[in-house]
Chains A and B, each alone.
Chain A
Amino acid sequence: MDAINGLMHGFGVILTLQNLYLCLLGSLIGTLVGVLPGVGPMAALALLLPVTFTLQPVGGMVMLASIFYGAMYGGSTTSILLNIPGEAASVVTCLDGHKLARQGRAGAALGIAALGSFFAGTLGVIIMTFFAPAIAALAIRFGPPENFGLMVLGLVCTLYMITGSPVKGVLMIALGFLCAAIGLDVVNGRERFTFGSVDLSAGIELLAVVIGLFGVSEVLSNVETMAKSTLVSDKIRGLWPTLDDWRQSWKPMLRGSGLGFVLGLVPGGGPVTASFMSYALERRVSDTPERFGEGAIEGVAGPESANNAAVAGSLIPVLSLGIPGNPVTALLLGALVIHGIQPGPLFVTQRPDLFWGIVASMYVGNVFLLLLNLPLVGLWAQLLRIPYRVLFPVVLLLSVIGTYSANKNVFDLWVMLGFGIAGYVLRKLEYDLAPFVIAFVLAPMLEQSMRQSLAMSADGAMIFFQRPGTALLLAASAVLVALMFRRKRKTEGGMP
């Protein structure tokens, strides 16, 4: 078989001391940037891009790719332990992961996150090995109308993420849309809600919003309760997932992997969207959705698998067609170009050493990451023994560095601070923050795909029903909304 031969060739390329070292180094750096709040894979890749100039293309690409998927492993750690997302794709992991940590089950949550990441990452690479070109050809046909259907489905899923008052939840979704509308109009390039400010014309940076809402506001809340709160570490018990955790987690891992892989493939998707949608999916299919937000292990297993699978999925269009679907893969593409390599449909046949080398390195990298992360579980859990008065200034400092490094724009720091204070107030008033963030992520893509679809359609909104993929996705969304009302009526009817 071609794929097996290719993979063997890839392992031949990758199994040199230097390439293995670079893969390990990338995995380490990736874990580190994942763990550090604010510093995400994008910033790390941009920073280390010049370093790879001096390396062989294979080694350089292997290192950059391993930083990307390594960050997905590390991101969950901060979410679980501190309730602060290590990077944007780990926001939902806070919801249940941190609750688990508070119940003294940080080890179980960290373990499941690492194993889920490994499972999804490896599954993703296996699919990539055998089907990359075929899948890429299919993914590229996914156009604006299909994207619109997907975004609508994502939005409907957000409804399932609301834990408290539905009115407050929907309000947060609307606010997310409103904030996302700031900046340049995606269709005519005009400024919207910028009030003449150049900084606002760039829109609001997602990273600044996430770090502000989840990082800064968490620190503020904790400072307030610092005097009376007992440290989580006082009650750490069981560093490993129990058999029960496993029973509850394997299905979410499988579902998360599938969902994440598909969302990684399509243009505009990626780890962030994948993790959110996986969480909503798990809550929807669960028999006990009320456990979500209170420390459900499925709420860690699903999203943490999804974001890793999404990384594998998003590498397929880049490597087999030269088409990047998100900023990180665009950067990887740029790295190839700087090495004088032309990415494109012929890449696999022209540079089999590179393509298969990267694929093979992902098998190795995922093993490295598992070996790195599992023993670290105990160490990370010790992090909680650090007194808050030391930990939080460090977290704040890292948040500032991470946010600034994304665009090198001081304005983003004010945005971070503003959203930090807003997040603090909203928490006090018991508003959910997660629906805001996902609406903020989905809104620009929803708007763009809708307006693109209408622009390319000869007969208006009919295009959404003429394209089978879109029609299917919209129908699924409608069913989900109907189910939601039914469930609601049932619970209402069941009440005395």
Chain B
Amino acid sequence: MKFSAIALALAAALAATPAAAQGGDTKAELAKLKPKDFPTEPIEFTVVYPAGGGMDVTGRLLAKTVEKVSGDRIIVNNRTGGAGMVGHTYLATQAKPDGYTVGVIANLMWGDAMLRAQNRWAYTDLEPIGYINSDALIWIGSTEGPYKGMSVKQIVQTAKDKPNTVRIATVPGSMWDYIVDQIEANFGAKFLRVPFQGGGAGITALIGGNVDIAQGFYSEFRGHLEAGKVAPLGVAAPDRMDFLKDMPTMNEALGGNEYQWIIIRFAVVPKGTQADRKAYLGAAVQAAMKDPELIAEYKKAGVYFDSKLTNPATMLQNLNAYATREKEFYQKTGRLK
């Protein structure tokens, strides 16, 4: 009886999926690309982070819209563990390249491939089919306590004058750590690095007064910003954010052009996926990304769209340039031989 209740709820959910009211053109174009024998079963969107997180929300919103524009059934599956490593490895080495597996991932995959995969797989084993959105790392301070009102420059200066006093939240072995590496090396400063499992936990610690600086994404601290609890200090992106015009970039604040730490989200298929299926899936993702509702949802989540990647023609080339940039950083810092 209970199972039938669930089934009823599921059926209701399916029936209520809105048919594509608009975008008839995109639908027609997509139909032209649609291979004859594909898809005959639901397509799995693999998200390598737990349900409910930022990456999961991104994937589910995308899945909802791809369903709308293509009419195909999409299932979102979270393959989690090892901070994404398990899911990335699954996509690169185990998932069948038959078009029924699409990875909704972020560029954190590059670090896993270059530093942790031990040549079992490479980032080229996952082929990008569509760009989704980007999120840049932002330094956040508290509106209370000894460092309130200080700029990034002043805080770095304090960490230099009084080493091991300023507490900063990081996520070990990732960009949260790398940017602190860069700043410490360039200015001779020394922070107390407090390790957390993710950016959100660090922001919680900032509000609780347990660290002095946190690093995170706009969506992670927006609620606290509106409540006046935190102050954004600087963004590790090439340009200022549209929604936080007053916040300088880290490059402006510290001088230089190396402080760029960005999460780039995109969809991939395993290498070897049939060309026609890959082209169709790519077109479906790109068509979804033209949906104004989806764009509005993403904007509400506080992400931005990188103009270098929004054009499908140059996406791959520019994405590879970002990957190369990351590889060079690892080589320069001795992380990668």
Interface residues of chain A, those whose CB is within 8 Å of chain B, are 25, 28-29, 32, 45-46, 48-51, 53-54, 140-144, 183-191, 196, 198-199, 201-203, 205, 267, 321-324, 327, 330-335, 337-338, 340, 342-347, 407-409, 448, 451-452, 455-458
Given contacts A25-B9, A202-B85, A345-B224, contact A333 B208 (CB under 8 A): no
CB within 8 Å of A: which B204-233 residues = 204-205, 207-211, 219, 222-224, 226-227, 229
Q: Report the minimal beta-carbon distance from B234 to chain A, rounded to whole angstroms.
A: 22
In the complex, given contacts A54-B13, A198-B86, A335-B52, what are 19 additional A-B residue pairs having Cβ atoms less than 8 angstroms apart? Answer: A45-B51, A49-B52, A49-B60, A50-B76, A140-B204, A141-B210, A201-B82, A267-B201, A323-B207, A332-B52, A338-B61, A345-B226, A346-B223, A346-B226, A407-B80, A448-B195, A455-B192, A456-B194, A458-B164
Task: For the complex, give the distance between the alpha carbons of A492 and B83 in Å.
Answer: 50
Q: For residue A46, which residues in chain B have a CB less than 8 angstroms away from its CB?
A: 51-52, 78
Please determine whether B85 and A201 come into contact, CB atoms closer than 8 angstroms: yes
Q: For residue B17, which residues in chain A have a CB less than 8 angstroms away from its CB?
A: 54
Please determine whether A334 and B194 come into contact, CB atoms closer than 8 angstroms: no
Please determine whether B81 and A144 come into contact, CB atoms closer than 8 angstroms: no
Q: For residue A186, which residues in chain B have a CB less than 8 angstroms away from its CB?
A: 172, 195, 197
Q: For residue B209, which residues in chain A have a CB less than 8 angstroms away from its CB?
A: 141, 143
Q: Report the minimal beta-carbon distance from B209 to chain A, rounded to whole angstroms.
A: 6
Q: For residue A203, which residues in chain B have a CB less than 8 angstroms away from its CB?
A: 81-82
- State how many residues of chain B have any CB contact under 8 Å with chain A: 64
Please determine whether B301 and A51 come into contact, CB atoms closer than 8 angstroms: no
Which residue of A has the minimal Cβ distance to B75? A50
Q: For residue B211, which residues in chain A have a CB less than 8 angstroms away from its CB?
A: 456
Please determine whether A29 and B2 come into contact, CB atoms closer than 8 angstroms: yes
Contact of B185 with A by CB under 8 A: no
Given contacts A267-B201, A455-B195, A456-B194, contact A338 B167 (CB under 8 A): no
Contact of B10 among A51, A190, A407 (CB under 8 A): A51
Q: For residue A340, which residues in chain B have a CB less than 8 angstroms away from its CB?
A: 297, 300
Please determine whether A408 and B50 come into contact, CB atoms closer than 8 angstroms: no
Contact of A337 among B172, B174, B194, B301 (CB under 8 A): B301
Given contacts A29-B2, A409-B79, contact A198 B201 (CB under 8 A): no
Q: For residue B224, which residues in chain A have a CB less than 8 angstroms away from its CB?
A: 322, 344-345
List of 3 A-B pairs having minimum Cβ-Cβ separation, nearest first: A344-B223, A334-B52, A202-B81
Please determine whether B205 and A143 come into contact, CB atoms closer than 8 angstroms: yes
Complex interface bits, B169-205 against A, C-beta within 8 A gives 1, otherwise 0: 0001110000000000000000011111100110011
Please determine whether B165 and A142 come into contact, CB atoms closer than 8 angstroms: no
Please determine whether A452 and B195 come into contact, CB atoms closer than 8 angstroms: yes
How many cross-chain pairs have Cβ atoms below 8 Å apart between A and B? Answer: 167
Task: For the complex, give the distance between the alpha carbons of A107 and B116 in Å.
Answer: 53
Please determine whether A188 and B79 come into contact, CB atoms closer than 8 angstroms: no
Given contacts A267-B201, A345-B224, A407-B86, contact A455 B51 (CB under 8 A): no
25 A-B residue pairs with CB within 8 Å: A25-B9, A50-B60, A50-B76, A51-B9, A51-B13, A54-B17, A189-B83, A189-B173, A198-B120, A201-B82, A201-B86, A201-B116, A205-B81, A321-B207, A333-B52, A334-B52, A342-B222, A345-B227, A345-B229, A408-B78, A455-B194, A456-B210, A457-B192, A458-B164, A458-B192
Q: For residue A267, which residues in chain B have a CB less than 8 angstroms away from its CB?
A: 201, 204
Please determine whether A338 and B78 come into contact, CB atoms closer than 8 angstroms: no
Q: For residue A448, which residues in chain B have a CB less than 8 angstroms away from its CB?
A: 195, 197
Contact of B53 with A by CB under 8 A: yes
Q: Report the minimal beta-carbon distance from B1 to chain A, rounded to whole angstroms.
A: 9
Please determine whether A28 and B223 come into contact, CB atoms closer than 8 angstroms: no
CB within 8 Å of A: which B125-183 residues = 164-165, 167, 172-174
CB within 8 Å of A: which B29-86 residues = 50-53, 56-57, 60-61, 64, 76-83, 85-86
Q: For residue B194, which residues in chain A have a CB less than 8 angstroms away from its CB?
A: 144, 452, 455-456
Please determine whether A140 and B208 come into contact, CB atoms closer than 8 angstroms: yes
Q: For residue B165, which residues in chain A have a CB less than 8 angstroms away from its CB?
A: 458
